[in-house]
Amino acid sequence: MLRFLHTADWQIGRQYARFEVEDAAALAEARFTAVERLAGLATEEQVSAVLVAGDIFDAQGLSNRTLHRTFQAMSGFAGPWVLLPGNHDAALAESIWSRAQRIGAVPDNVHVLTRPEPLRLDAIGAAILPAPLTQRQTHEDLTAWFDDAATPDGLVRIGLAHGSVEGQLPESADSPNPIAADRAATARLDYLALGDWHGLKQVDARTWYSGTPEQERFKNNGAGQALLVEIDRPGAVPRVEARATGQYGWYQWRRRLAVASDLDALLEELAALPAMSVIDLTLAGELDLAGKQHLDQALSAAAGRHRSLQVDTAELALSPTAEDLADLHADGYVGHVIRELQEQQTGDGEGADTARRALGILAGLLRERPSAKESSS
């Protein structure tokens, strides 16, 4: 029986410009941690090999230190690693792969498949048919040669490719590099290990995308996993099991707040998330002053609990109640302005909406002012 891990799209060197510097650095570091977890999983599961279906690196111009760190992160598994260049790290004439070889970063147990020719791994009973990208994009199906490729009888026949299976992925998939939907059948493959789609996806019984081992987008597509594959013998249907490898979960929510129970439900949802999540939260609707204060306190606590919490409140209006306004003890000119805004906010229309927003802003400022006791101390 052949037992191996299928992974892809490590994207080592990926940048996270939308995040705070500290969070961006932690998310970039998590790419290395994911590789270490893969190595540990491979050793724990006693697999015969680890197959990586492209985009090990996010760009060609990464530093030599990053190259050394990547291969050192793989040291937890002593068996064969089989790496395929993808669209982000294509096997150009002068590429990140040729530089990695030149600086001595690639260990002896790592096979970098830069040419479309079979790799025989007789010791584990497998033959790997790779379709390396030699440029970022191509309009040819680089797996076509699999159909006529000869491999010895008795070896499990595995394809390794990076691109878009025709008719299976959205048009916004990472690259147009096409792969025939029936390639596993026409090439008599026991398994076709794919990369490029960053989520977990089964195309057919023998064809799978593993997704990236560390989630990096707000998509609910099964990212943050690797595939453990078992094949009893050549021709047998593979058994495929997803194993979690990711460190951070990513959550993108839009919530509308209208009544107190909406706020309670939101805070319960936040509390139920695993610690150190990455959260993008958009809030709309309106809150009174007490609700806004409760929300601010809860979000402050959540920001300390999670890796990143980004909140957009541009559509969330502050709508103080009559009791809120009475508690502000505003008199004189300010009190007059508040009464005017109260009258103008009734009804619909742009003027009423502007008055509601202005009233909310003014009430918030008044609530945050220091008390007479604080001012005199």
According to DSSP, the β-strands at 191-195 and 156-162 are parallel
Low-confidence residues in the chain, pLDDT < 70:
171-175, 324-325, 327-331, 342, 345-348, 356, 367-377
pLDDT the model gives residue 369: 65
Determine how many CB atoms are found less than 10 A away from the CB of residue 215: 26
Q: Is 347 exposed, middle or buried (0-12, 13-18, 19+ CB in 10 A)?
A: exposed
Three-state DSSP at 215 gives: coil
Q: What structural domains does the chain harbor?
A: 2-244 (3.60.21.10), 250-376 (no CATH)
CB within 8 A of 362, min separation 6: which ones? 334, 337, 338, 341
Question: Dihedral (C-alpha) 26, 32, 34, 38: value to the nearest 10 degrees?
Answer: -170
Dist CA 289 CA 287 (whole Å) = 7
Please give the order of strands across the beta sheet that includes 110-112: 110-112, 81-83, 49-52, 2-7, 225-231, 239-244
Nearest Cα neighbor of 100 from 151, 160, 45, 57 is 57
- In the chain, the DSSP E strands lie at 2-7, 49-52, 81-83, 110-112, 119-121, 126-131, 156-162, 164-165, 178-179, 191-195, 201-204, 207-209, 225-231, 239-244, 250-257, 278-287, 308-318
Nearest Cα neighbor of 32 from 65, 81, 79 is 65
Dist CA 160 CA 128 (whole Å) = 7
Q: Is 297 exposed, middle or buried (0-12, 13-18, 19+ CB in 10 A)?
A: exposed
Question: Dihedral (C-alpha) 153, 189, 1, 38: value to the nearest 10 degrees?
Answer: 130
pLDDT the model gives residue 174: 52
Tell me phi and psi for residue 26, to 5 degrees: -65, -40
Dist CA 118 CA 198 (whole Å) = 26
